[in-house]
Structure 1
Amino acid sequence: MPRDVQEELAPSLAANGQGGRPTILVFDSGVGGLSVYDEIRQLLPEAHYIYVFDNAGFPYGEKTEQFIVQRIIAITAAVTRQYPVSIAVVACNTASTVSLPALRETFDFPVVGVVPAIKPAARLTRNGVVGVLATRGTVKRSYTQQLVEQFAKECQIKMLGSSELVLLAERKLQGEQIPLHDMKGIVQPWLALPEPPDTVVLGCTHFPLLKAELQAVLPEGTRLVDSGLPSPEERSGYWKTDQPLAIRAYRISRIVRK
């Protein structure tokens, strides 16, 4: 295991609950995955949660696929030596697009991830123009292109990769105010289009933290679609529990000027 993984694991680990309940590992490169953790916790409040963020490897959007896969396997292995994990949730779009097959081959518990919400966005768009806001890593992954081919072939897909937004989200959680001119500069390529996207996929779990700022700079009426976990049917049977496993797959917001 990389030495910094061992050093960072202890301060990065947060768990609640006691034995006798399902133990859910939620993993991200930073704190963006807290949006996924919060939603799962609301519906499975009695579970035992472990939230791990790899602040030493952050941000993943600029890392190679090999680095991400090796890193996540090493950290997950370190957690499993201390806790009996029932299921792992990779709450990071960039990591999910490259690491899920390797994680499922390595560990004997179910592993699920988050994916860009291209499918529901394609159903929601009115003008046929869908924006995908993600890290540069997620934008260039073949998996993302496969989602477009499978679910949004009839749409104009406008990809926008930004690692700066990830850093801004982390700064906001530290209490900083995010200048709107910074946000506007990031989405300016869309604003300059004759017909901007009317539906935008937030393809990184950090980006919902900046929803208010995005709403302030995108055109009125733009729908923001958060990425989400697989459908309840895909998640069924992961473990036996009296708690429901239904987790909303996507959260949709609409920008309305007051």
Structure 2
Amino acid sequence: MSLSRMSGAINGGPQSPPTVLVFDSGVGGLSVCQSILSMCPGVRIIYVADNASFPYGTRSESYLRSRIVNVLSGLCEQHQPDMLVIACNTASTLVLADLRQLLCLPVVGVVPAIKPAAETTQTGAIGLLATSATVQRDYTDQLVADFAGHCDVIRVGSSRLVEIAEHYLRGHPVNEGELKAILADFFREGLARKVDKIVLGCTHFPLLKQQLESCAPRHVEWVDSGNAIANRVCSLFKEAGLSLDASHKVLHRIRFTGEAIANKQFHCQLALLGFDNVKIEGVII
């Protein structure tokens, strides 16, 4: 149901909880869901992890464009969500414009939070921690040029951190030595200015925020896009005249395009992220 039809339901009769379809290559976008569930009480989440094609960093851009558009077109037709959130930096940079042109519903994307980090740095040096592909993309270069030209921007690309986050959500321990090695370049000697903000430029990484904080040799602020996305979702519902009802008993769904890997630890992590009533499914797309 589109937001326009949703508004009609508000005026014309009973209304089911609004539905947001959230998409990512894996479980990283669950960090965005946490912000949405916290700031938009009463919303229903359908989360889709494209683990059949994970990790995106090993795929060509042409493959990903075709894959993501085809998968999301089918899912939106099947579930009729009120809104689509692309909780993946790679997918957002590649197909956001295509999806907005193709689909008759609001599509919200995510970009690394370079702008707010650059606007609030006290030292004039910020870090960008993202996937190896994201730190090298022309899109990232443009964000830095547009919003952080006055800053030293230290970029660290790590695809391994994505895997660590995936495993952590399913109960695997985190190797602190690995995290310290990944973060080392942000704190190395010889930098002209000390980094005081580190942008988490992949939605997987906020899932490890506590561990990253404990492994950093000194205090820095970690900046991600979760709250900004949730604010946008709430504002779009408000523009449609919708008041979210926190008293709704909502059943969320988490769907995998490949095998559903959902052990006891994963269910416990979901509860911590705000999913109090959830169904997990594996589907082949």
TM surpasses 0.5: yes
Counterpart for residue 93 of structure 1: 89
Q: Which has the higher contact order (CA 8 A, sep 6+)?
A: 2
Structure 2 gaps, min length 5: 1-13, 246-285
Question: What amino acid sits opposite 2:132 in the alignment?
Answer: R
Counterpart for residue 199 of structure 2: 201
Q: CA–CA distance in 1 between the matches of 2:55 and 2:232?
A: 29
Q: CA–CA distance in 2 between the matches of 1:234 and 1:131?
A: 29
Identity of paired residues, percent?
44
Distance change >3 Å, CA 181–CA 233, structure 1 → 2: closer
1:69, distance to aligned residue in structure 2 (A):
1.8
Counterpart for residue 8 of structure 1: none
Question: What amino acid sits opposite 2:219 in the alignment?
Answer: G
Match of 1:160 among 156, 160, 163: 156
Counterpart for residue 177 of structure 1: 173
Does residue 39 of the first structure (1) align with residue 35 of the second (2)? yes
Question: What amino acid sits opposite 2:214 in the alignment?
Answer: A
Match of 1:225 among 215, 223, 226: 223
Question: What amino acid sits opposite 2:244 in the alignment?
Answer: Q
1:233, distance to aligned residue in structure 2 (A):
9.9
Counterpart for residue 24 of structure 1: 20
Q: CA–CA distance in 1 between the matches of 2:102 and 2:31?
A: 26
Q: CA RMSD, aligned part only?
A: 2.2
CA contact (8 A) 2:56 2:64 kept: yes
Name the one with the larger helix percent.
2
Counterpart for residue 78 of structure 1: 74
Calculate the TM-score normalised by the size of structure 1: 0.81
1:30, distance to aligned residue in structure 2 (A):
0.6
Distance change >3 Å, CA 220–CA 93, structure 1 → 2: same
Q: Which moved more, 1:209-218 or 1:227-236?
A: 227-236
Counterpart for residue 102 of structure 1: 98
Count, aligned residues: 227
1:86, distance to aligned residue in structure 2 (A):
1.2
Structure 1 gaps, min length 5: 1-17, 245-258
The residue matched to 1:24 in structure 2 has which SS?
strand
Quick check: which has more Rg, 1 or 2?
A: 2
Calculate the TM-score normalised by the size of structure 2: 0.74
Question: What amino acid sits opposite 1:216 in the alignment?
Answer: S
